[in-house]
Amino acid sequence: MDSTRHPRPAADPTADATTEAELFWERHYRTRRTGGARVNPVLAETAAPLRPGTALDLGCGAGGDTLWLARRGWHVTAVDISGTAVGRVREEARELGLADRVAAEQHDLAHSFPAGRFDLVSAQYFQTPFALPRARVLRTAAQALRPGGLLLIVDHGSTAPWSWNQDTDIHHPTPTETAAELDLDPGQWSVLRADMPHRRATGPAGETATVIDNVLLLGRTPTDDRRTSVR
Ligand SMILES: C[S@@+](CC[C@H](N)C(=O)[O-])C[C@H]1O[C@@H](n2cnc3c(N)ncnc32)[C@H](O)[C@@H]1O
C-alpha cells in the first residue's frame, strides 16, 4: 500500500518503537482491548480438517487465530511487529494453559523471520499502510513450509464499515495478483484455492455487514506420495 496516502496517528512518546510502522501498530494495540479475539473464519474452515502440527501466524495481532489453533493441539509460532500484541498473546496463552503450545515472537517481518519449518503458515489480513516487502515475506513463508504444508493468505477484498482505515483509494490485492507476485515454482507449490467469497461479518459493536475475503491457499508439494494429513 502507498504509505503516503494514509492518515497517521500522532507518535506515542511512551512507545519503544524504532520505526514508523512499529510505532503505528504499537499504538494501535496499546489503545485497544484485545482479549478473547475470535478466529478468522477462513482459517477455521481451512485448518479444522487438518491433523495438528506446527503453525506460523504471520501478523498475529490480537491472537484469535493462534489461540484457536493451540486449543486444537497445534504448536504455533505467533509473530507480530507490535511488542504489545505479542506480549498479550503470550500472556493469554499462559492463562489458558497453552503456554507450551505458543511461542510469541516480536519481528518486523521486513527484517527478520522466525526460525522453524511449518505444516501451516497463515497470513490473515497481513496488510499495513506502511512499506512492506510482502511478496518477499510470503515467499519466505512458502519456503518455510514442510513438504505437504499449506500457506493460507487471506486479504481484505472490501472495507468493512467499522475498519479503522476507510481510505477509498485502498487497493485490495486479488488472489490472482498475490499468486503472480509470489511467482513460486509450480513444481514445488500449487494453488489449491483462489477465490473471493462474501460473508456476513460482525463488527466490534455487534453491527453486521457483508464483506469480501480474497483467499489464496498454496500447498507445498509432498516429497513422496504423502498428502497434507486430514483426520
Ligand atoms: C490488519 S492486522 C491483522 C491482524 C490479525 N492477523 C487479524 O486477522 O486480526 C495486520 C497485522 O500485521 C502486523 N504487522 C504489520 N506490519 C508488520 C511487519 N512489518 N512485521 C510483522 N507484523 C506486522 C500488525 O501489527 C497487525 O497485527
Contacts of 54 (CB under 8 A, 6+ apart): 74, 75, 76, 77, 116, 117, 118, 119, 120, 146
Q: What percent of the chain has pLDDT over 70?
A: 89
- The residue whose CB lies within 8 Å of the most ligand 1 atoms, and thus the one to mutate among 34, 39, 60, 88, is 60
Does residue 72 fall inside a structural domain?
A: yes
Residue 225 banded pLDDT, cuts 50, 70, 90? low
Does residue 3 fall inside a structural domain?
A: no
Does residue 48 fall inside a structural domain?
A: yes
Query: How much is the average pLDDT of 155-180?
Result: 91
Task: Report d(CA 224, CA 220) in Å as an integer.
Answer: 12
Task: Report d(CA 217, CA 195) in Å as an integer.
Answer: 9
The CB of 81 under 6 Å from ligand 1? The reply is yes
Task: Report d(CA 125, CA 39) in Å as an integer.
Answer: 12
Query: How much is the average pLDDT of 19-40?
Result: 90
Per DSSP, the residues of 11-46 read P-TT----SHHHHHHHHHHHTS--TTPPPPHHHHHH
Cell (9 digits) for 229? 494429513
- The residue whose CB lies within 8 Å of the most ligand 1 atoms, and thus the one to mutate among 19, 30, 128, is 128
The CB of 59 under 6 Å from ligand 1? The reply is yes
pLDDT tens for residues 95-148?
999 999 999 999 999 999 999 999 999 999 999 989 899 999 999 999 999 999
pLDDT tens for residues 68-102?
999 999 999 999 999 999 999 999 999 999 999 99
Does residue 109 fall inside a structural domain?
A: yes
> How many whole angstroms from 26 Cα to the centroid of ligand 1?
10
Does residue 14 fall inside a structural domain?
A: yes
Angle at CA of residue 30, ends 27 and 36, nearest 5°: 130
Query: How much is the average pLDDT of 202-208?
Result: 89
Is the pLDDT score of 31 beyond 70?
yes
Identify the residue whose C-alpha is closest to ligand 1 atom 15.
128
Does residue 211 fall inside a structural domain?
A: yes
Does residue 205 fall inside a structural domain?
A: yes
Residue 204 banded pLDDT, cuts 50, 70, 90? confident
Candidates 226, 205, 130, 218; CA nearest to 178 is 218
Does residue 53 fall inside a structural domain?
A: yes
The CB of 126 under 6 Å from ligand 1? The reply is yes
Looking up residue 176, the CATH number of its domain turns out to be: 3.40.50.150
Please list the residues that pair with 199 across neighbouring strands.
Answer: 211
Which atom of ligand 1 is the closest one to the Cα of 57?
6
Is the pLDDT score of 13 beyond 80?
no
Is the distance from CB of 72 to CB of 43 less than 8 angstroms?
no
Query: How much is the average pLDDT of 186-210?
Result: 95
Query: How much is the average pLDDT of 152-169?
Result: 90
Instruction: Give the domain extent around 25.
Output: 10-220
Task: Report d(CA 76, CA 70) in Å as an integer.
Answer: 6
Total domain count for the chain?
A: 1
More confident residue, 225 or 71: 71
